[in-house]
């Protein structure tokens, strides 16, 4: 068994930052990641890092923009932590050598982004995430932090109390992709989940193939609540044929969206009379799809994003990467013609419920980055707010797990006196197919007493049993068939526009996928680099997350931020200024709510009408 003070699961921006912070606080820390860290999807982030660095800008303004962008569903203490810490963290990245774009005076460059009242998006070309990821990995190498790369963590080792909030996480189970070895990892102080987003739940996504939401699913099945999962961000500018992201930086620098009639529809259609192309992402995505659905799309599929008027020099200076992406993945030269774009799944606002230090409802378990919900994005994330989230909360969680005293958190986790139970009617039962015998429904407690080493060993034994079952079964269903059906129903029914019948259909399709998954089998008999096995385990996670997203979407009978319901066309502050939470409850999901925290230290954020 491997043993460390702090284990960080995932080697993207959040995980690397957490590991550095834990190491600096004196902990023996290791990173366990299914990809080598530099392969992480943080590297695909393009636009930039929102940080208050310049005269005329204020932390209060960044916090206000973020709360407004969230449609008043973010928790103010978390938002204020993000905006307060981001300037220090951004400059810290610069001090670690990150190659930001520069002004003539040698200072780092900033540009306008959607939903921002000040041009505070700090960038490195249109490849900010790549540079952030590599800069952090360089610091991990410098510190000699141990990295178990191409080790796939597939199960948490937790104690088996009935009430999940009494449980404790003492380690994880890892699968060495290269050798097929299954090994226990004991964490003396804390396990930090930094496993990234769940984009593979959708057919058309900007996310990597590795983004299967493993962290959310492992935590969920171990009893940790998932929060606000219905809030999925669809980025307005993705390439139609592949889902490859075209940065908001294009619009930040002055790029314009046109419909098939050559109209600048954001203004002419009245979608965003003030901000136009720089309205927030939910607004722009809905505008595009409305144009397409009403017959003003090009080939009934997309709209045009034009940046030719910016001129070659400015484009190559600030957006060169976009030229390569459009050429390589859509065959379009954006210096000479407009780029076809349409909305695509991009980011999960919801996630594992945490406070502003990354702590979950389970003792010893933390979550940070996209897989976490602190919550700073609420119902809609502003562009440029994800990268600061990674470094700010990565640092917080790393320090806290290493034993540093960060004071009292102000965002509650788990059920409190203020939480209320909820219910939602579904056409089919959600949750485990056959309670008690669902071998893949791992996580919720290993009856091995109180000894941490024994609990990890028991989890290892349970995981070996699951893998043996998957490997030994003959003539089962291929995971790729199941995954594809889930992706298709989500893309069709739980998309930008959501209707009651579609959501019900999605739940039926997900149920069918779940039932088929009971017969899933792995064809590849090899222990060496068995991606067939890895993808099969991931597919189970995709199913659980698709269900959680759809249940949240069914439950929330209002229109807020990225969550649009045909029958409920208004934001309902009277009934819905609250977070949706979903607990796995050993296979019978429970819905409950907790109030949003609008009182910050800087101010109280009274909900106002949101227009751009």
Partner 1 sequence: MSGEAEEAPVEADDVPDFQQHRLARKAERSGADALRDDVQAAAAESAEPEETVHLRVFRYDPEVEDKQEPRYDDFHVPARDGLSVLDALIWARDQYDSTLTFRHSCRQAVCGSDAFFINGRQRLGCQTQVSALEEPVRIEPLPHSDVTKDLVVDMEHFYDQMEAVEPYFDSSDDPPGELEERKQSPENREEVKLATRCIWCSACMSSCNIAAGDNKYLGPAAINMAYRFAMDERESDDVTERRFRTIEQEHGVWRCQTQFSCTNVCPKDIPLTEHIQELKREAVKQNLKFW
- For partner 1, the binding residues in 311-330 under the rule CB under 8 A are 324-325, 328-330
Whether residue 47 contacts residue 249, with contact meaning beta carbons closer than 8 Å, is answered with yes
Query: How far out from the chain centre does Cα 511 lie?
Result: 24
Is there binding between residue 565 and partner 1 (CB under 8 A)?
Answer: no
Write down the H helix ranges in 198-263. 214-221, 249-252
Category of 471 on φ-ψ map: left (φ > 0), alpha (ψ -120 to 50) or beta? alpha
The smaller minimum CB distance to partner 1, of residues 134 and 514, is found at: 134
* Distance (Å, whole) CA 96 – CA 189: 27
* Distance (Å, whole) CA 557 – CA 564: 9
Residue of 2, 221, 235, 535 marked catalytic: 235
In three-state secondary structure terms, 501 is helix
CB of 95 to partner 1, least distance (A): 4
The smaller minimum CB distance to partner 1, of residues 528 and 567, is found at: 528
> Is 251 annotated in the active site?
yes
> Is 281 annotated in the active site?
no
Residue of 17, 130, 204, 251 marked catalytic: 251
Kindly tell me the burial class for residue 451, based on how many C-beta atoms sit within 10 Å of its own C-beta (0-12, 13-18, 19 or more).
exposed
Among positions 58, 363, 404, 488, the unique one binding partner 1 when judged by CB under 8 A: 488
Is there binding between residue 253 and partner 1 (CB under 8 A)?
Answer: no
Is there binding between residue 484 and partner 1 (CB under 8 A)?
Answer: yes
Among positions 33, 40, 159, 583, the unique one binding partner 1 when judged by CB under 8 A: 40
Whether residue 355 contacts residue 412, with contact meaning beta carbons closer than 8 Å, is answered with yes
DSSP type of residue 39: G
Is there binding between residue 508 and partner 1 (CB under 8 A)?
Answer: no
Whether residue 50 contacts residue 382, with contact meaning beta carbons closer than 8 Å, is answered with yes
Which region among 14-22, 125-133, 294-302, 573-581 touches partner 1 (by CB under 8 A)? 125-133
Question: Closest Cα partner for 257 from 267, 247, 243?
Answer: 267
The smaller minimum CB distance to partner 1, of residues 273 and 526, is found at: 526
Which region among 260-268, 336-344, 457-465, 523-531 touches partner 1 (by CB under 8 A)? 523-531
Question: Closest Cα partner for 5 from 130, 122, 171?
Answer: 171
Is there binding between residue 214 and partner 1 (CB under 8 A)?
Answer: no
Taking each helix axis as running N to C, give the angle between helix 500-517 and helix 531-555, from 0 to 180 degrees, rounded to the nearest 10: 150
Is there binding between residue 497 and partner 1 (CB under 8 A)?
Answer: no
CB of 96 to partner 1, least distance (A): 6
CB of 447 to partner 1, least distance (A): 34
Query: According to CB under 8 A, which residues from 46 to 65 bind partner 1?
Result: 53
- Dmax over Cα atoms in the chain, in whole Å? 68
The smaller minimum CB distance to partner 1, of residues 38 and 406, is found at: 38
Tokens found for residue 65: 């923009």
Query: According to CB under 8 A, which residues from 358 to 417 bind partner 1?
Result: none
Is there binding between residue 142 and partner 1 (CB under 8 A)?
Answer: yes
Whether residue 28 contacts residue 376, with contact meaning beta carbons closer than 8 Å, is answered with no
The smaller minimum CB distance to partner 1, of residues 146 and 263, is found at: 146
Among positions 1, 88, 439, 575, the unique one binding partner 1 when judged by CB under 8 A: 88
| Catalytic residue IDs | 235, 251
């Amino acid at each position: 068994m491997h043993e460390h003070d702090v284990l960080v699961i995932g080697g993207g921006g959040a995980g690397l930052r957490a590991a550095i912070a834990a190491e600096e606080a004196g902990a023996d820390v290791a990173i366990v990641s299914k990809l080598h860290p530099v392969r992480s999807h943080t590297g695909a982030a393009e636009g930039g890092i929102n940080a208050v660095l310049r005269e005329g800008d204020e932390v209060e303004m960044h916090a206000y923009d973020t709360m407004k962008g969230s449609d008043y569903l973010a928790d103010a203490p978390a938002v204020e932590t993000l905006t307060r810490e981001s300037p220090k963290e951004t400059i810290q990245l610069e001090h670690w050598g990150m190659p930001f774009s520069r002004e003539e005076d040698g200072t780092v460059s900033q540009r306008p982004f959607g939903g921002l009242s000040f041009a505070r998006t700090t960038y490195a070309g249109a490849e900010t995430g790549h540079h952030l990821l590599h800069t952090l990995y360089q610091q991990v190498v410098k510190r000699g932090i141990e990295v178990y790369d191409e080790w796939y963590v597939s199960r948490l080792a937790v104690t088996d109390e009935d009430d999940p909030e009494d449980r404790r996480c003492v380690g994880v189970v890892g699968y060495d992709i290269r050798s097929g070895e299954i090994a226990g990892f004991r964490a003396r102080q804390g396990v930090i989940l930094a496993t990234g987003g769940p984009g593979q739940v959708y057919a058309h996504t900007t996310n990597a193939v590795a983004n299967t939401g493993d962290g959310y699913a492992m935590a969920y099945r171990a009893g940790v609540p998932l929060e606000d999962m219905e809030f999925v961000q669809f980025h307005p500018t993705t390439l139609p044929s592949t889902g490859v992201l075209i940065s908001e930086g294009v619009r930040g620098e002055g790029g314009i969206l046109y419909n098939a009639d050559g109209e600048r529809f954001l203004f002419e259609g009245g979608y965003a009379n003030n901000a136009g192309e720089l309205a927030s992402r939910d607004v722009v995505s809905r505008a595009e799809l409305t144009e397409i659905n009403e017959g003003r799309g090009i080939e009934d599929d997309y709209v045009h994003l034009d940046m030719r008027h910016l001129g070659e020099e400015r484009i190559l200076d600030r957006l060169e990467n976009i030229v390569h992406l459009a050429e390589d993945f859509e065959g379009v030269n954006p210096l000479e013609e407009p780029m076809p774009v349409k909305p695509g799944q991009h980011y999960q606002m919801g996630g594992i419920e945490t406070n502003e230090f990354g702590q979950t409802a389970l003792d010893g378990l933390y979550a940070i980055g996209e897989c976490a919900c602190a919550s700073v994005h609420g119902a809609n994330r502003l562009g440029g707010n994800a990268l600061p989230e990674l470094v700010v909360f990565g640092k917080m969680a790393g320090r806290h797990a290493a034993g540093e005293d960060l004071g009292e958190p102000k965002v509650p986790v788990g059920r409190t006196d203020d939480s209320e139970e909820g219910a939602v009617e579904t056409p089919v039962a959600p949750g485990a197919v056959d309670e008690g015998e669902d071998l893949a429904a791992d996580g919720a407690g290993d009856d091995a007493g109180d000894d941490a080493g024994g609990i990890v060993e028991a989890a290892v034994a349970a995981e070996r049993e699951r893998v043996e079952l998957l490997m030994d079964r003959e003539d089962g269903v291929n995971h790729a068939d199941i995954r594809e059906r889930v992706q298709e129903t989500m893309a069709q029914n739980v998309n930008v526009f959501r209707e009651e019948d579609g959501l019900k259909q999605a739940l039926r399709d997900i149920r069918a996928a779940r039932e088929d998954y009971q017969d899933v089998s792995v064809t590849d008999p090899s222990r060496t680099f068995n991606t067939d096995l890895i993808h099969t385990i991931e597919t189970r996670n995709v199913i659980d997350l698709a269900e959680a997203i759809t249940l949240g979407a069914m439950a929330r009978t209002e229109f807020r931020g990225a969550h649009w319901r045909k029958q409920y066309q208004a934001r309902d502050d009277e009934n819905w200024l609250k977070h949706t939470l979903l607990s796995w409850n050993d296979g019978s999901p429970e819905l409950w709510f907790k109030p949003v925290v609008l009182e910050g230290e800087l101010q109280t954020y009274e909900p106002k009408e949101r227009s751009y």
